[in-house]
Amino acid sequence: MSSIDYAEKIPNNVNLQNDRTLQRALEHWQPRFLQWWHEMGPTDFESANVYLRTAISVDAQGWAHYGALKMPDYRWGIFLADPVADRKIGFGDQMGQPVWQQVPGEYRSTLRRLIVTQGDTEPASVEQQRMLGHTCPSIYDLRNLFQINVEEGRHLWAMVYLLHAYFGRDGREEAEELLARHSGDQNKPRILTTFNEPMLDWLSLFCFTYFTDRDGKYQLKSFAESAFDPLSRTCRFMLTEEAHHMFVGETGISRVVKRTLEVMKELGTDDPARIRAHGAIDLPTLQKYLNFWCSSSLDLFGSEISSNSASNFASGMKGRPDETTYDDHVLRDKTMKLGTPEGEQEVPMLNALNEVMRESYLKDCEIGLKRWNRMIERAGHDLRLTLPSSRFRRSIGPWAGVPVDTHGKMIDRAEYERRLEDWIPNERDRAFVASLMKKVVEPGKMAGWIAPPERGINNLAIEHEYVGLH
């Protein structure tokens, strides 16, 4: 069931060879994808031999193959998790009925929009990260960046497969558009704001993979619950790859904290200026980067009060992450209290599901914070890293544009404007972090602002030549 046919142009476990029309349509899209990769993917590393993992099956025991290859030769394929026999809809008004193998007409445009919006984030992040190879802190990190990039490319394939296979001509047109929009493009930007933010340094990459890829995890988890079975199966397998992206974020920030603490100990100071002069990232600067990427990612869950979230759930299109862990799967009689700038409001639970998702996401975000704070505490320092309030710097929902400090307290607008540069990276912070970004590619060597990882990839040594540049 789940083996991949590598003789095919497009590796897949969806019996593509039995659907010639679909196969031809995707083979027509493939060179466009490769052209996009060439133009918008990582710059200047097309001839490098990168030690990459490639998905070769959906078998939990051994789904990936590891080996050195050139990125344009990566086998981007289409893999769906094995079907669950007699799977039933697990939530909403149609709970208990069989899941859909085709798209019901009345949900067609909404489902297409949901898939396009998810699909758009995948190539967007590759575009955002395309310059980072030139300033990698080590070739271990360089490899991880490229691993994430090729897998986001595969996630694009996953969504394009659904569009081609289930949405006819509209779907094919959307697949073209996914390659036509570009991150940060004035005329044709990516759909979501976070995916148009420039990413010029590795501290941003680690925060992005910690916060924004984790939003991806939560979106995929909610789609894994979907009554549209092909979407559910696609997203279940994507989650397997997504875990590594968040690993890069969490361990990346851990290594920054570790190195900073070493420098603080060596110098016997917590003075940011002296830490910076020594080439490490002071913790208050790290806090600003956390504030920036966390608040930006919180908008991705949508408005606190949303009729779309209600209808997506009631219809069965999009569940809550880990839906089975809840007691009530219909939610017609429940309400939720939400804080808004006008005071507390009681809204139907169905309309508050974006907030439910945002809250469980924030709990997941706390795990890394606890780990980093333990490191700081053990080193004998009082400072603690924190997540900003979910009301801070929002541009969607009732808190959009409301002047709020990082603790969620409403403040005077002038004070907000004045203090914002103390809460998120200002020009000087960004210039300082940029000044640290020097390419280090000698195997096993690390840039001075980051500690080595605890172990290498796939049981290889940290000194392994993960990217062959010659």
Interacting residues toward Fe ion by CB under 5 A: 122, 152, 155, 213, 216, 242, 245
Q: Which is nearer to Fe ion, 245 or 255 (CB)?
A: 245
Asked whether 43 and 131 are in contact (CB, 8 A), the reply is: yes
Q: How many CA atoms lie within 13 A of 174 on its CB side?
A: 27
Q: Which is nearer to Fe ion, 41 or 216 (CB)?
A: 216
Q: Which is nearer to Fe ion, 143 or 155 (CB)?
A: 155
Place of tokens 């939560």: 218
Q: How far is the CB of 270 from Fe ion (least distance, A)?
A: 34
Q: Which is nearer to Fe ion, 216 or 397 (CB)?
A: 216
Q: Which is nearer to Fe ion, 197 or 429 (CB)?
A: 197
Question: How many Å apart are CA 181 and CA 184, to the nearest integer?
Answer: 9
Q: Cα(first)–Cα(last) distance of the chain, in Å?
A: 40
Output the CA angle 250-254-259, nearest 5 degrees: 155
Asked whether 204 and 290 are in contact (CB, 8 A), the reply is: no
Question: How many Å apart are CA 346 and CA 325, to the nearest integer?
Answer: 23
**What single DSSP character describes residue 387?**
P
Largest CA distance in the chain: 68
Q: How far is the CB of 310 from Fe ion (least distance, A)?
A: 26
Phi-psi region of 6 (alpha: psi -120 to 50; beta: other; left: phi over 0): alpha
Q: How many CA atoms lie within 13 A of 354 on its CB side?
A: 23
Asked whether 78 and 158 are in contact (CB, 8 A), the reply is: yes
Q: How far is the CB of 276 from Fe ion (least distance, A)?
A: 31
Place of tokens 């309309």: 351
Q: How far is the CB of 428 from Fe ion (least distance, A)?
A: 30
Q: How far is the CB of 304 from Fe ion (least distance, A)?
A: 25
CA separation, residue 48 to residues 69, 73, 138, 450, 467 (Å):
8, 11, 15, 24, 6
Q: Which is nearer to Fe ion, 149 or 389 (CB)?
A: 149
Q: How far is the CB of 238 from Fe ion (least distance, A)?
A: 6
Q: How far is the CB of 145 from Fe ion (least distance, A)?
A: 12
Q: Which is nearer to Fe ion, 210 or 313 (CB)?
A: 210
